[in-house]
Every structure is written in structure tokens, then in C-alpha cells.
Structure 1
Amino acid sequence: MLIANDPYRTGNHNNDLLFVRPVFHDGKIAAFVNLNAHQLDMGGAVPGGFSRTKRNVYENALVLPPMLIAHAGEPVEHVWNLIFDNVRMAEVIQPDIRTLLSGLDLGERLLRESIERYGTGAVHGAMAYVCDVAAERMSAGLASLPDGEWSAFELVDCDGADDTEQYEIHVRLVKRGGRVEVDLSGTSRQARTSINGTALDVKTTVGIALKYLFDPRGRFCSGNYRDIDIVVPDGTIVSALPPDGPTFMYFEQNQALLGALLRALSRAVGEAAIAGDRGSPDLHTAFGVTAEGRPWVSAMQCGGEVGPLGANRYGDADCQAMTYQANGVVPEIEAIEAATPVVVLRHEPVPDTGGAGYHRGGVARLRDSAWLTPAAHTLNQLRYKRAPGFGVNGGKDGSTGGVWEFPPDGTRTLPDPPTDVAAYRTARPLAGVIDDATGLPAPDGRYHYPSTEAATRRPR
């Protein structure tokens, strides 16, 4: 079995381990079984890895080129040692990896059963058939699109170095006959910190956007790309290169690219257009040490990880989702509070914030957490300068959000979450475009950079 996690070879980020097992028949490789699974930590400068401040691949995390993790049914000891000499939370990760390898064993057994029952030729024929059908379905869907050119861009507010540079992701789609070209020329250079993506992630994102619009019910495989050409210049924020183009928060750029594609094509597909979602998972990570000296990490638990999607022709949108191209991260509040020194005070939808319309966007969400001990915090709010939740078919754009610190009142009792907008006048904004007078998000407000010392190191 092979393992790898180098984003420039496999896509995604270092915490996503790719496992590959060749399946042999009659002494030859007949197929491969693959698994890609996220791990809690892969080393690097920040526990859990979810920070946009890392400046190069050496700070980012442990990098594994393709190498054997098992051979002839036995673990390759030096590879296991390499991993577990560099990662945190090994007591969780080690059994997880063993479970994944067992999954590959099962995949091989099932595939070998099919080969032995039907023959290698039939199994390969079935694989080719699935790809051919996917190609035909996408071709039929694209046939509904008239020849033409469409373009759009999405904005990423900043990186983790400072707030002096913002990044634009440009897309230009050209349809001629049966082919579509997606050109990302004009996209900003790679970021100075770990918010970049790779060209492999671009390919995935383009495929997802076109499937959403032209073949939402078919299988997703390599056949979808048969009539699609993708132009990606090297060294952009969506096609970064090592060592100074670290990629960890790759999903931020994927989501911005997906939004740009949906925005560009919204004028071409009419009723099939999909409104923009909130654009970013708005991840929050906290980490510290208990009184007994045990390290703890809260990754993707107490930020804005879930929120609204945009509406489409099928109905109103969800408001308890991550983003169009991300996982659903909704851990139990009891589990969060049992594992980390925090109390979740509020997690609720905001009525009537989805706008008016025949099909309405998802509503905004409020989330308040009370941290009980000093901790380091990292905020990853990258999409507040421009509302990513764009409307289609006459719908209006959404609004942006923010992050605020409400300092303790000096007592040992838990605070009540703010129930009146007046409370935000005295709160400390940590992220967002905020009006100085009201303390609330406003298009003409002042931008608050989420990687200041106040936003990343103060207990909240």
C-alpha cells in the first residue's frame, strides 16, 4: 500500500492522506483501490494545521511523497515512525490509519471477487463504460449552452502576512461548438502564506461547477472532462508552487473559484442558475494546555463553519451547511464542551435574513462561544470585503458577516449572548467590514484584518 499527502502531487492539503492499493490478477496490476482521508494533525507550526499564517512548506506540515506504508501485508516500520515522530494526537491518528488500511483490504477483496467472477476484460469494460456515459451526459448538457464568452471574478480579502494585498480569482469561459475552455489568466499571484490551492484543485472545482449546472445527477469521474479545456498559469493563488507558495487552506480558493464560475455562467444558463453561497467556511481554531498539562485543540468547532447556501430553481436554500464544495462540520455541542474549555452559548438561525423571492437564500447564523481559559486563537475569515452570496434571476446579493470579542465582565458567571444590536457598539471587532458607530457589518465600514495579534492570541 502506498501513502502520500504532498498537495502538489495529490491536491487538497497535508492533513488529507491518500492511500493507494494496487489490485493484482494473474501477476499484473488490474486496478487500484484508493482512499483519501483527513487526519487531525500532520505536524507543522500550528496544531491541527488550520492557520493561514504559515509562510512556506517547511512550516506547513509533514510532507509525504508516495511511499510504501505496507508491503507484503506487513507495515513498513520506518514510514510509520516517520509519521508518528512528527504528528500530534497520535493516539487518535494511528488507529484511524489502521482502519483505513483495513478499508483498502476490503476494497481489494471486493474488486478481486468481481474480476474472478466476470474477468478482467469485463471489469475494465465497465470502468470505460462509466467514463463514456459521463462524457456523453456532460456533452449533452453543454449542448444547451449557446456559443459565447462569459467572465467573472471573486475576491479573497487578504493572506496571513498582513492586510496590504488582496487577491482576485478571474475566470473566462469560452464555448465553441462542443468544447468549453476555462481560462484563469489574470488571477492574482500565489499568496505569501498558506491560503493557496493547486492546479489539481482547480480541475476538481471546474468539474464540480459544470456538473452542478449541466449534469447534476450523473456520476463524477474523468469522463466529465473530455470536452473541457482548462488553462491555469503557474504560480497563482489557485496554482501555487513550492516552497514559498504553501497550500493548506486550499478550500478557500476552491470555493472562490467555484463562485466565480457560477457567477459567470449565471447569465448564460437562465433558470438553471445557482445563487452564490456564503463563500467561506469561516473556520476558527483554538489550542492550549489544560491545568494538568494536556494539550487540547478545537479545530472547526466554534467558528462559522456552517451557514447559508444560495437558492436555485428547486427551492429555498439550506442555512445549516458548510459551503458548496466542503464537508458538513456539525459536531455535537456536548462533545465540543467535553473536549475543550468552552461553552457554546448560542447557535441559531437569524429569521428573515434570506431575502425575498420565489426561492430564497438561506438565513444567516449567530454563534457565540465563551472560552473559559487562556488559549491561542486563529481566525480564517477571508471573504468579507465583497458579498460572495450573489443573487441570480433577479435575486439580490447577500451581506457579509463579522467576528467580535465581548470581554468578560469580571465575574465568574457565564455571560448571556447579546440579544440587542446595541451590544455590538461596545464589542471589539476582530474580523469583517464594520461600521465604527454601530459595530455592525456595513459595505462602507472599516476593514478589520483577522490575523492581528488581538485576533489570534488573546483569550476570547
Structure 2
Amino acid sequence: MDLAPSQLSVIKTGLDAIGREMAVNLRRSAISSIVREARDFSVALTDARGEVVAQAECIPIMTAGIALALRGIAQHVDLSELTEDDALLMNDPYHGGQHLQDIYLLTPIFVDGELIAFGASTAHHVDIGGSHAGLSAHATELYQEGLRLPLSRFSVSRDFNDPRGFVRQIIAANVRVPDAVIGDLQAQFAASDTAARRLTELVRRQGRDEVLQAMSDVKDYAEKRVRAAIELIPDGVYRAVETFDATPWDAGTAEVVAQVTVSGSEIAVDFDGSSAQILGNVNCPFASTVSAVQSAVRCMLESPDIGFNEGCNRPISVSAPYGSVLNPRPPAAVRARLTPASRVFNAVVRALGQAVPHRAVATGFDTTTAIAVSKRGFDKYQVSLEILGGGWGACAEHDGPDALDNPISNCANAPVEALETDYDHFRIEEYALAEDSGGAGTTSGGRGIVRTYVATVDDVSVAGYADRHTAGPAGIKGGADGGTGSFTIRRADGTVEELDCIYQEVLNRGDRITIRTGGGGGYGTAQRHNRPGER
């Protein structure tokens, strides 16, 4: 069937609207601040094979990762046996997942008894068990990081909606804040319900055959647009190396080596030469490596308005040595996988910047700075988890933005008021821009964040991780490097403790921990550049 361009456009708009409404409903239904406020989730509508046809603009590494999580779904589940009461759940980093906190939920969508699509979502859950509330900073293997869920089919009415259901009980029994985790899973179900309702309405308006054809056509069209954009990049082999601090794991400075080959309408990225996997939580599952590459390539194309679906990924291939930090052997720990994944993004952007210098950009702080603040009470836990951003790199046209999460994460900063409403074991004393943290240049790198947490009771547990505490992100074309980050504890008695880039500590009443994130690199000749309003 050939659809008229006008009808394809109408149906594509309808599919995209489904994704956006899924995202809105998931966020509004969520319980935890990491999902509700920081928006650490992603949603998608897939076809019956599990290939993404439409997604909302949420977390890029999750957005690209949904297709990887669903790839080969028919190899694990007999799709002909699925019913409207079934759902699929997984978080396994070694079978298409990201890290254990990101739980994928897929629900089949039937119209007139026929399976035509899946509603898909992933959300970062505030706790998934493991050796430490919120995140296990010193884990050396996956088993210490929490509950691992292989791709599994279950009955929603029997196994989840019923409080005695097995899936609901197995999750609730293994996490510290079951109300928040189960509540956020219910929010994911709300997103899937939205997908089923709206897609059924679209089929009723436009026709079953027309919608199915459009689901195929939008992928082909996206592939065509991506290939056309890649053809604008000069053929060649471009190489870049990025590093991250692995000294907490006795691994020195780890390297991410990217060789990007552009050939016609295709891009191949090879990470041969990257560091071996690390005995710590800073390994990157291959699905996250691929997601970071896809996100970087899209940022460097001349056509940024291409809708994201599985067709976008067809011209891009990725390889990384098995046993490396970018494709680790199980059961390597992977909680901080965004550190190497961010260097993947940086390396690909830098490499392609050699090919298309007018799109080159200085490196940003581009580091997930995570902090978990938890308190064990007599009968329950309080667990707060936050992701803090830093400054982005500058480019020829403008300064780097201030205080943003890194480009492949894209979490929002949780408002102080929301956190202090939800939790009473800490308060936030300071929240400000880190002045002079951006690299100077013709245009300046963005500035980082300073955020100080004060324990209001004894025995408050804090844990976190970051990168770029020893060397800031590089400027380009003569621009200065961006500033570094730091973690500092000031005890109530005045004692000051400087922490490593990964830590687990205990605060007592009046103790403070200050999180400082760095800025982005500058662009152009390194000279003082005043931002608007500065003197």
C-alpha cells in the first residue's frame, strides 16, 4: 500500500503525539522525585516486532536504548501467545538493558484481537536493592547493585495488580522504598494505557492497514533522512580519544578510543583500543555504548529535525571489544555507566567535528554527578536520588549553557521545595552557579552547579559518583579548559573532608556535603569573555 504524503504526515503526527502524551502521563503519575521532578524516564511506541516508531524527547541514552532492549524480543517470547493481560519486564544490562535502576516495561496493544504494537517505557527507579540505598558506589559486581530482572512475560491482573501477585511481591520485597518503586511502575503502566487508547483511536480514524503501513514508512523515511545527512559529511576516518578518572578502582586514567569511519551514507564507530573493563561500577553495557553513539551522531548531523525511530539507527554500526569498559563481561558492575558513555559521546562528537568543523563544539563537563541521600527509620527508608548537571561546551555561535545535565542524560534539576516537601532527613542550604567554572574563550563554556545538603538528623547515609575531579573538559581552537568538580564534607565541628569522585559516607545532624560540578570548555582564543550582565 502506498500512502499519500499528506496522509502519512497526519498519521506520523498522531504517532508522535501518542509518545508525547505517554511522557506527560508517566511524569504526572510518578511517585519518586527522580522520575516526577528530574524526569529520568523515556517512552516509546513500537510496532508488533518491537521496533520503535515514535518516541517522546526524554532521556537520549534511554531513548536510543529502548530499541536495543526490545531487539530480538520474539526470540524470548512467543508473540502469538500474548494477550491483553500480558506485559513484559526487564532491566538486565547484559541483554539490552542499561543499568539495574532502569526498568523497561512493555505492554502489547491489540486492536480487534490483533497485536499491532507495544507501549514501551523505562524509568530510573529510586532504589532497586543492592548493598546501599539509592546506589551502591563501591560495588564490584552486578549482584551487589540490586535486583536483576530478565525479560519476562507476566499476567498484569494476576502478578502485578493483585497485591499478592508474584511480580509485585518480588520487586517490593527487594527494594527499600516499595511504595515509590511500585508507584513508578504503575506510572509506567499509565503511559502504556495511554498508548493503547490513543493508538486504537488512530486506527479507528485512519484505518488499520493505513496505520500499519505508516508505522513502516516512518522508519524508512527517517532512514532516508539520516543517510542524506550523513552523505553531507566528507568520507574519511576520524579518531578521538577521551579519558575518565578510574583511580578509585586502581585503574589509573581510562581511555575511550573512537575511530569513526564515514563512507557514503553510513557511519561505523569502532572502539578498539579502549580500556579493559574495571573492577568497579564504572563499566558501560554495550547497549549504553550504542545509545551514546547514536545520540552523538544525531547531534552532528545537519538535519536535527529528524523524528527518532528505529530507521534512524540503520546507517550506524558500532563495535567495541568484548571485555572492555564499553562492552564488559558479566557480572561487571555498571551503575555509573554514564561516565564512560559520556566519553563515548564526547569522542564521537570530537571526531566528527574534524570532518564538519563548522559544527565543532568544545567538550562539556558532561558527567553524571549522582547523589543518594538516605535515612533508615524504624519501619521504613527515606531515599532521595538526584542527578546534577554542569556546564556545556561553547561553540562558534554562542557560550555553552549553564547548569545542564549532560547531553545523553538530560535530567532536570529537582526543585529544592519539592525535595524538602518529600524528605525531612536533610535540607538544601545552597543552590547556585559555580562562578568562573566555564573555560574562557571567544565564547565561554557554561558554568557548573554548587549544591549543599545539610543533615537534619543523625545517621544520614550519602553516596555518589562523578568524573572530571582532576582534569576539566577540553576547550577547542584555543579555548581554555572547563573547571573541575568536587565533593566536600564539612562536619558540624568544623572538620573538612575532601572526598574522592566516588564515595559512601555518613552524615550526622549539622554535617554538610557540598557538591560542585565543573564547567564546559571554551571556544576560540583563550581570553576573558564576559557574559551578558557581567562586568
Interval of TM-score (by shorter of Structure 1 and Structure 2):
0.7 to 0.9
> What secondary structure is seen at the aligned counterpart in 1 of 2:127?
coil
1:440 corresponds to: none
Preserved CA contact (<8 Å) 2:159 2:168: no
Preserved CA contact (<8 Å) 2:130 2:145: yes
> What secondary structure is seen at the aligned counterpart in 2 of 1:456?
strand
Amino acid at match of 1:316: D
Any idea what the Cα deviations from partners look like across 1:350-381, whole Å, max 9, x if unmatched? 34443444432112332333334333332313
1:321 corresponds to: 404
Give the one of 276, 285, 308 matched to 2:391.
Answer: 308
1:242-391 → structure 2 map (5 Å cutoff): 242-243=330-331, 245-290=332-377, 294-300=380-386, 305-338=388-421, 339-372=423-456, 373-387=458-472, 389-391=473-475
Preserved CA contact (<8 Å) 1:297 1:340: no
Preserved CA contact (<8 Å) 2:375 2:425: no
Preserved CA contact (<8 Å) 1:4 1:10: no
Greater relative contact order (Cα < 8 A, sep 6+):
2
Any idea what the Cα deviations from partners look like across 1:68-91, whole Å, max 9, x if unmatched? 343578747212111111112112
> What secondary structure is seen at the aligned counterpart in 1 of 2:356?
helix
1:200 corresponds to: 287
Amino acid at match of 2:433: P
% of aligned pairs identical? Answer: 26
Preserved CA contact (<8 Å) 2:366 2:390: no
1:3 corresponds to: 89
Q: Distance in 2 between matches of 1:66 and 1:229?
A: 24
Preserved CA contact (<8 Å) 1:196 1:238: yes
1:37 corresponds to: 123
- The question of 1:158 aligning with 2:227 is answered no
Q: Distance in 1 between matches of 2:295 and 2:468?
A: 21
Q: Distance in 2 between matches of 1:137 and 1:395?
A: 34
Q: Which moved more, 1:196-205 or 1:115-124?
A: 115-124
Q: Distance in 1 between matches of 2:159 and 2:505?
A: 43
> CA 1:307–1:235 in structure 2 vs 1: closer, same or farther (change >3 Å)?
same
1:436 corresponds to: none
Amino acid at match of 1:55: T
How far the C-alpha of 1:51 sits from its partner, in A, is 3.0
Structure 1 stretches of 5 or more lacking a match? 411-425, 432-448
Structure 2 stretches of 5 or more lacking a match? 1-86, 512-535
How far the C-alpha of 1:25 sits from its partner, in A, is 3.8
Preserved CA contact (<8 Å) 1:157 1:166: yes
TM-score (norm 1): 0.83
Give the one of 204, 220, 232 matched to 1:132.
Answer: 220
> What secondary structure is seen at the aligned counterpart in 1 of 2:193?
helix
Preserved CA contact (<8 Å) 1:22 1:31: yes
Q: Distance in 2 between matches of 1:249 and 1:113?
A: 41
> CA 1:330–1:406 in structure 2 vs 1: closer, same or farther (change >3 Å)?
same
Preserved CA contact (<8 Å) 1:352 1:363: yes
Preserved CA contact (<8 Å) 1:336 1:342: no
Q: Which moved more, 1:24-33 or 1:8-17?
A: 24-33
- The question of 1:84 aligning with 2:187 is answered no
> What secondary structure is seen at the aligned counterpart in 2 of 1:114?
helix
Preserved CA contact (<8 Å) 1:159 1:192: no
Q: Distance in 2 between matches of 1:71 and 1:401?
A: 45
Please report the RMSD computed on the Cα atoms of aligned residues, expressed in angstroms.
2.5
Any idea what the Cα deviations from partners look like across 1:85-138, whole Å, max 9, x if unmatched? 111211222233223213212211221222333333311221222212221222
How far the C-alpha of 1:235 sits from its partner, in A, is 1.8
> What secondary structure is seen at the aligned counterpart in 1 of 2:290?
helix
Matched residues, number: 417
How far the C-alpha of 1:342 sits from its partner, in A, is 2.5
Any idea what the Cα deviations from partners look like across 1:215-260, whole Å, max 9, x if unmatched? 32211222222222212221211212222x1222222221111111
Preserved CA contact (<8 Å) 2:225 2:306: yes
> CA 1:18–1:364 in structure 2 vs 1: closer, same or farther (change >3 Å)?
closer
Q: Which moved more, 1:95-104 or 1:318-327?
A: 95-104
Amino acid at match of 2:280: T
